Structure formats: C-alpha cells, structure tokens
Amino acid sequence: MAEKSPVPATGGDRYVPYAERTGNESIVYFTRDLSAKGLRRAYEQVSANVCGKVGVKLHTGEKDGPNILPRDWVSSLLEADLPGASIVETNTYYEGDRYTTEQHRATLANNGWTFAPVDILDEQGTALLPVTGGKWFHEMSVGANLLNYDSLVVLTHFKGHNQGGFGGSAKNIGIGCADGRVGKMWIHTSPGSDDMWDIAREEFMERMMESAKSVRDRFGRRITFVNVMRNMSVSCDCEGTLAAPVVTPNVGILASTDILAVDQACVDLVYAMREEDHHDLVERIESRHGLRQLSYMKELGMGNDRYVLVDLDNDGARIRPADAVAHVVPFEG
C-alpha cells in the first residue's frame, strides 16, 4: 500500500453536466422493464465476451434486507444465460452477519441465495492484484478464489451509500472483491487509526476506484456491467433492515461493457429527475463527495463519461437521460 498523503479537494461534490465532458462515447443500453425478462434483455446486449468459468458479482445483502435484487430475477438469468456460473462475494470488514464465512453462509440461506453455488472468494485466503497507475495502491488484496474465474458479470443494485454517496458497478467490485480483513481495511482505515471508517470523501473514492481498477484489469474484455435502478434507498444493502426508506422512483436497468459509462449514466438519470424525486439521493451523493468516483475513474483511464444511451424499449433509439426518466412516478413502497 502506498504512503498516506493529504488529499486536495477534487470536486466530488460537484456534478459535471454532459456538455462539459470531453472524450469518446461508449454505449450504454437501457430498458424500463424492471423484471426478470428486462434483466435478461439488458445482459444480452453486453454478454458477447463472457466465457469460460463465470462469476456473477452481486451484493447478496444483510439478513432480510428489503431492497436487494429479486432472487427470481437472478435465478432466471443464471438458468437461461449463465448455466454453471457461481455467485461470488467476500466477507465483510465490519462484524455482523457476514463477517465470517459461517455467518455469511447462514445469511445467504436466509436471503434465498440457494439456487446457485455461492463462492465466498476470501474463504480460502487472499491474493494480490496489481494496481496500474494508482496513487494510493500498487496492489490490492482480494479474495483468492477470484483468480479461478475467466469472466466476471458485475450485477449491481444501484443505490445510495453511507460513505460512497452511491453504490454502482465500481463500488460493487472495488469493495465487494476486496477481502474482508486486508483489502477492505486498506480502503477504509488509515494505518494505526482507532476509527475503522476514518478514510472518507475524495480519498475513500479514489482508494475504492483503484481497487475496482485492479479487478477490471484482471478480467479485461471478459468483464461486463449491469446496473438495476430499483428500490434506491440512500442506504446500501449492507445496512439491511436498518436502511432508510426508499423515496427515489424506480427507473430501469442499464448495461455496458464500460464501467465508468454505466455508473455515470445512472448518476445522470438520477440528476435528470425532478427535484422532488431526486433530492434525497443527490444530497447523499454530494454530501459524501461521491462524484469523485466518476472523475477518478476517468483519470485512471477506466472508461468514458460520455456515452450513447440506447433505448431497448424503442427499437434502439438514442435517448437523453431526461427521456429515460420521463416515465417515473413517485415511489410507492
């Protein structure tokens, strides 16, 4: 791990409009169909390079978490499109119902993740992945079993996050593939600190993105990203039943082979909503400086923050974020 140094303000609390961005455009696919069928259709668009032994990285949640991805959607996807794939997870850094492998497996069973193998990646130890071009890390500690996979499908419940501001694909692998004792500690805690969560704002976003880059680089073209914008509490699924009530409208499903583009598009769709619909989630993102996730991914060369948004519901028409959220209605629990 690199030496800790002061982090200057880098605009993690300022949203950058599309017109101010530069560079190439990637493709992001979008459907309003929040169902097993919609999930399969979104994944189909970005599945071309997925082959060999496949891991599906998703957040399986704390016990009885109300907002995690519907198990029947994921079951349908695996059965139809990813036979033989394993769900992959790591143990948590904090003590709770997923802290040890034994506790984690009990929580998986409780939450209904029983229809496919679940590989707890750090059950058998850790491995180091190189971090190219990072300023905080030269390498990242991940669950050792990650190296057993040829391809990774990053299936993400997009939502808010207490420290990250929002949790998208990059958070899913940046935190979710780092092992529970070493990698997550490197991201969250300054050496010698009594506060295990003392790293925050820009520094936290940068460390998390460098971890995500190590995983993305490990799989190269054989990694793909699907974000589900549904039940978007300002709280992460790691808060389980303590999560804040959902007030942000459901939107749809986005998919891309570009990790930055898919997370940026989700953020853009949030900002394109009416003030009364996005207020809470935007406040969570900006107060935590979560937008630094996006700008730092761009600095690291992880993808493009400009994209073509392709409407799968309307013959592949190119649409704007405002078009994608024009249909949303106030959330009803």
| 77-91: average pLDDT | 98
Question: Residue 239 has what pLDDT?
Answer: 75
Question: Residue 155 has what pLDDT?
Answer: 98
pLDDT in tens, 40-62: 999 999 999 999 999 999 999 99
pLDDT in tens, 238-297: 877 778 899 999 999 999 999 999 999 999 999 999 999 999 999 999 999 999 999 999
Reply yes or no on whether the pLDDT at 23 is more than 60. yes
User: Identity (one letter) of the amino acid at 175?
Assistant: I
Could you tell me the domains of the chain?
22-324 (3.40.50)
- The Cα–Cα gap between 226 and 181 comes to 27
Q: What is the DSSP string of 18-40?
A: GGG--S-EEEEEEE---SHHHHH
Share of the chain above pLDDT 70, in %: 97
Residue 168 near residue 242, CB atoms below 8 Å: no
Reply yes or no on whether the pLDDT at 321 is more than 60. yes
Question: Residue 333 has what pLDDT?
Answer: 66
- The Cα–Cα gap between 84 and 109 comes to 19
Question: Residue 2 has what pLDDT?
Answer: 47
Minimal CA–CA distance to 170: which of 56, 262, 280?
A: 262
How confident is residue 331, by pLDDT bands cut at 50, 70 and 90?
confident
Reply yes or no on whether the pLDDT at 9 is more than 60. no
Helix, strand, or coil (residue 80): helix
Mean pLDDT of the chain: 95
Helices 71-81 and 36-45, interaxial angle, to 10°? 50
Helix, strand, or coil (residue 154): strand
